[in-house]
Structure 1
Amino acid sequence: MTLFLLLAGAALAGCGGPAERVAEAPWGASMKRSVAPPFPLPALTGRVVDNADLLIADQEAQLSAALATTERLTRHQFVVVTLPSLGGRSIEEVGLALGNGWGIGRKDYNDGVLLIVAPNERKVRIEVGCGLEAALTNSEAQAIIDQRILPLFRKGRMAAGIFRGSAAIIREIDEPGVTP
């Protein structure tokens, strides 16, 4: 199978650097649209938005329950999104638009996380709000993609890669001292 291209990072609006010029406002309202997106976004239908149909209903429910438990325990919002297409945009641009447009994470803490999978473009990204950058750094996000997600994706095991990557992200953001 062709290798999955990857991008990982936490260059986010409001965190400093060039991302501030891309996005109109930092993410962090509640789970609702907080900023008019530069292009149409998929609907935020829950903690798992599987528009690329990579998960069966039971898997989606199981993952959604794990994300809900994580949010209840840590207060950090984590959403998994799969997209059939990036619409000619970079995965970074799509990630920022989703984080900002959906308002992932609490407004005053900017503590949201997105796992974005675009199988047709063979791209995956972990988008991290500024408030969680200490708990989930760029290098940790890259390691999760390289060591947990991509090996399974290369074997055609997309759901397993999403689950393993999500579990690794949850472990990172669930560390003691991370919740403000």
Structure 2
Amino acid sequence: MLLHGCPVAKVTPAPPLPRSVEDRRPLPPLSGRVVDNAHLLSPALSASLARRLAQAQVRTCHQFVILTVPSLAGEPIEQFGRRVGNGWGIGRRGYNDGVLLIVAPAERRVRIEVGDGLRKALTDAEAAGIIRNDILPRFRNGAMADGIDAGATSILREIS
């Protein structure tokens, strides 16, 4: 089966896992490829990023979503990232080839969550390097939007 020219694996979904107390906080709604709930991006940059992410998905079949949240409400960003990635179904089922860039300015946290199907293209070390070299220096200078844009550019370069 093909989805927009991308093969889609046929698999039976796993039964839902029991939800812990931490998982009861609802996920933000998935409203597009860029979900800027922390209002860090201008409308023009948000639209530009969404266009670039869509074009990359057409070329590579890999789904990449950017999420900013005002706060993690005490939840570790690693756990939140897994919950969002799984809850939103980022990446193709059976391929697990999605990427999620999360920014939580209140806690000063950023994370790149990479599906197992993309770990060769975007390793943990490469993701950490993108955060350290492309995103955080701009954040420290107060340029949150520029950091997100630079991080997205580097992630797209790695997964394309």
The bucket for the TM-score relative to the shorter chain is 0.7 to 0.9
Matched, 1:79 2:49: no
Q: Tell me the residue number matched to 1:178.
A: none
Higher share in strand? 2
Contact 1:38 1:97 in 2 (8 A): no
Q: How far did 1:166 drift?
A: 0.3
Q: How do 1:1-180 residues align onto structure 2 when only pairs under 5 Å count?
A: 24=17, 38-174=24-160
Q: Give the superposed CA RMSD.
A: 1.4
- Report the TM-score when normalising by structure 2: 0.86
4+ long deviations beyond 2 Å: none
Other structure's SS at 2:27 match: coil
Q: Which runs of 5+ in 2 are unaligned?
A: 1-15, 18-22
Write out per-residue CA displacement over residues 1-34 of structure 1, whole angstroms, 9 at most, x where no aligned residue: xxxxxxxxxxxxxxxxxxxxxx94xxxxxxxxxx
Q: How far did 1:38 drift?
A: 4.1
In structure 2, distance between residues paired with 1:169 and 1:156? 21
In structure 1, distance between residues paired with 2:60 and 2:25? 31
In structure 2, distance between residues paired with 1:72 and 1:141? 22
Higher share in helix? 2
Counting matched residue pairs gives 141
Higher relative contact order (CA 8 A, sep 6+): 1
Larger Rg: 2
In structure 2, distance between residues paired with 1:144 and 1:126? 9
Q: How far did 1:108 drift?
A: 1.4
